[in-house]
Structure 1
Amino acid sequence: MGDADAADENLIPDLSVLAEAPDSAFSSGYLHTQCNFEIVIDNILDLTHTDYLHANSIAGTGMTTSSKPVTRETKDGLRVEWLASGIPLSPFHARLYPDIERADQVVRMDWYAPAAIRLDAIFMPTGQPEEKGFANLNLHLMTPETKTTTHYFFAATRTYQLEDEALNRSVAEARYKVFSTEDKPILNLVQERMGDADFWDLKPLLLGVDEAAVRARRWIAKMP
């Protein structure tokens, strides 16, 4: 685990939004993945996969594939933002808000080096400000176990229907199903295809949407 005396609590990211969430609007989960932790980071930082892999569950709106992410460096890592206007709601949110046909959406991710990601997904009726939106606030935390296995922890809260415990259970169950049956199999297969090879030795074809993931990998490579 390293030198305990070198630990600096000031480097812990501020995730108090989760600690302050009521039990009726908070949930968490865990998966043991058979892949390197950086593959999990790749998956989250490039959200274009959601319009394909999660088309029938939590995405499928065309939000990520129709917009261009903006990535910038912060003192702790990276911030990535996706903005889209006038898109349909995801199947999940369409069931919650059947009267809303189109919405504007922002997804804002903060990657804290080396392996924590806060992801805020906010949607609001088209033309309304972000403050009027419905926000899902998520944490993804990856702890390497071995070179090819990872402890993947996740947690979430929201800014709407905070007292609805039934909704909270439904959200938690849906998220776990999506992560375990859609994301995890793909991540494991990526690792299986890569084998023991170094990522860069495979000479990957890099696309524009890979910017955040590539910058994160290069940041991690420079860390002591």
Structure 2
Amino acid sequence: MLSRRHFIEGSAALGLVAAFAPAALAQRRTQTETVDVAQLMQPGPLGDVWLGKADAPVTIVEYASLTCGHCASFHTGTLPELKKKYIETGKVRLVFREFALNQLDAAVYMLTRCALNADGKAGEGVDQARYFALIDVFFQQQRTWAFGGNPLEAVTAITRQAGMTQAQFEACLNNQAILDALNATRERAASAFGVESTPTFFVNGKRVLGAQPAAEFEKIIDPLLPA
């Protein structure tokens, strides 16, 4: 269960997270490593959310933090290019997985999950468009809510614009099952796949570290596409 206090505490911890996570931890892994694809593609307890066709020949699994500046750079800068060239043309599917780095991160991820439904679970028949629309807004406005003076007020305003009532907001933050599932997703990513920093990507199982430009992703994706 998360409370209003966690918004304040989580925001206060962001300076340390931003300074530490992307560079120091990433040095422990290399771009040449691969993981077992069958294991990687097993969804977590809340189910996977994705963009693109389910049968695309290339699948990118992204582990990201909503309070991570590098993740925001990828989503606002690189991803639109990849969408146009690969995702919208049926060549690539992007599976997005939450990797909360702090309490504020966890709280906001809980709210994005509740945009799907009350239990936060994805699955057949669930409209994922609302989830990704909210993710996009949080990345675009990251400086305002994650690093501003009043994260609770800023996050509340964003969720209200998305149609979430105050009662739904409070109920979501009190949903221990969603919080436990998000923690399980992060722990499995770290223990099973060695995710140590955000963003971390796996392109058909091959690890790609950091918010690489579109050209770097093209070098990895293109050889994997059918001739």
Higher relative contact order by CA 8 Å / sep ≥ 6: 1 or 2? Answer: 2
Q: TM-score scaled to structure 2, two decimals?
A: 0.31
Larger Rg belongs to = 1
Q: TM-score scaled to structure 1, two decimals?
A: 0.31
Structure number with the higher strand fraction is: 1
